[in-house]
Amino acid sequence: MLARLISNDLPRSRILAVLLVLLLLALAVAPFIVPGVKALNVAAKILIFVVLVASFDLLLGYTGIVSFAHTMFFGIGAYGIAIATTHMGPTWAALAVGLMSALALTLLLALVIGLFSLRVRAIFFAMITLAVASAFQTLASQLSEFTGGEDGLSFKLPQVLSPSFELFEAPVLGTSIDGKLITYYLLFVVALVLLLALLRIVNSPFGRVLQAIRENEFRAEALGYRVVVYRTLSSVLSALFACLAGAMLALWLRYNGPDTSLSFEIMMDVLLIVVIGGMGTIYGSAIGAALFVVAQSYLQDLLRLGSEAAAGVPLLAALLSPDRWLLWLGLLFVLSVYYFPTGVVGRLRAASARRMARGAAR
């Protein structure tokens, strides 16, 4: 039953299986085990990035397409929710209209961008997508009547998702079951369903054709597969999942602006997470997103503790200053790429395969 649920794509490593189970359990019980606004925000950000990174991995890791327009679709999903609820009010109908409109616009733009890949390849296609994403961010900043410009849009959600809503009068396990917590578990369920859907896609015959195209496009064409059609479908599916991730972000923040969902920094974060987790592995998006977001959120706190502990050694205390957290974050990523060139998932699976091979040889 479990194998069917994960589309027969087993972790193929005991350590990886344990990490995935622990991550799932941690995200499921985080609001009750680690109370506080920051911990809940970190857990929600992990859920959003898992979907966003997995959708990008479908494009890069499984199809071999490098695109910098992914955050544009992420932003479209967030703006769809923000604009609809701002103009129609905090209703479920507004959420539905915003999401459907965002998905429709994403589908159209993904098809248009996909047409560029028919004539433009590799780095030139990547540069075109970068230009399109930059133009869209500029457009979002200038159309202040619809998008709120640089200030963005703050909006309200239906009452049950509002922080002021209380499902029970008394706390459960010391935690109030309010609208914010309900929103979190809505994101949890959506992220889990979307991740399972992506696992189903990449392990289907369609997904295997995408991998064949990634390995050798000309051979796949010679075998009778219409590479153009498969590449375009991959681009569209990837964009639609990114749009849904953007909608998740808007639901959580109840705000959206150009820097929130369209920033190029988000695109760089996604690329880093894909590399850290392991390209061509949907599981890598979950492991990579968790490692990245936790490091990004708590590294400053750890450095502050280290700096205070090393107060007697001025040079060491200066190196461990929380102001230098980006330096240490970059160093951690360099080390992770050096020691895990195929990503965490790739390294764990390779180690497991070697152990099995040695066992069989005996």
pLDDT tens-digit profile of 75-92? 999 999 999 999 998 999
Residue type, 199: L
- At residue 221, φ and ψ (nearest 5 deg) are -65, -40
Q: How far is CA 194 from CA 2, 54, 126, 289, in A?
A: 16, 9, 26, 15
Domain ranges of the chain: 2-361
* One CATH from 1.10.3470, 1.10.443, 2.60.120, 1.10.1760 for 2-361: 1.10.3470
Sequence-distant (≥ 6) Cβ neighbours of residue 25 within 8 angstroms:
none
Evaluate whether 250 touches 83 at the Cβ level (below 8 Å): no
Closest by CA position to 15, among listed 358, 351, 302: 351
Q: Give the whole-angstrom CA distance, residue 129 versus residue 117.
A: 10
DSSP per residue, 309-331 = HTTTSHHHHHHT-GGGHHHHHHH
Give the residues across from 9 on adjacent strands: none
- Cβ atoms < 10 Å from Cβ of 174: 7
**pLDDT at position 337:** 78
| Dist. CA 67–CA 256, nearest whole Å | 23
- In tens, the pLDDT along 288-307 reads 999 999 988 888 888 888 88
Per-residue tokens: 109: 């733009």
Q: Which amino acid is at 142?
A: Q
- H helices, E strands: number in the chain: 17, 2
pTM attached to this predicted model: 0.93
Structure tokens at 7: 């589309």
- Please report, in tens digits, the pLDDT of each residue of the chain (362 residues total): 667 778 777 888 889 999 999 999 999 998 888 877 888 999 999 999 999 999 999 999 888 888 888 999 999 999 999 999 999 989 999 999 999 999 999 999 999 887 776 566 667 778 888 888 888 888 888 888 888 888 889 999 999 998 888 877 777 777 788 889 999 999 999 999 999 999 999 999 999 999 998 888 888 888 888 888 888 899 999 999 999 999 999 999 999 999 899 988 899 899 989 989 988 889 999 999 999 999 888 888 888 888 888 777 778 778 888 788 778 888 888 888 787 888 889 888 888 888 887 777 66
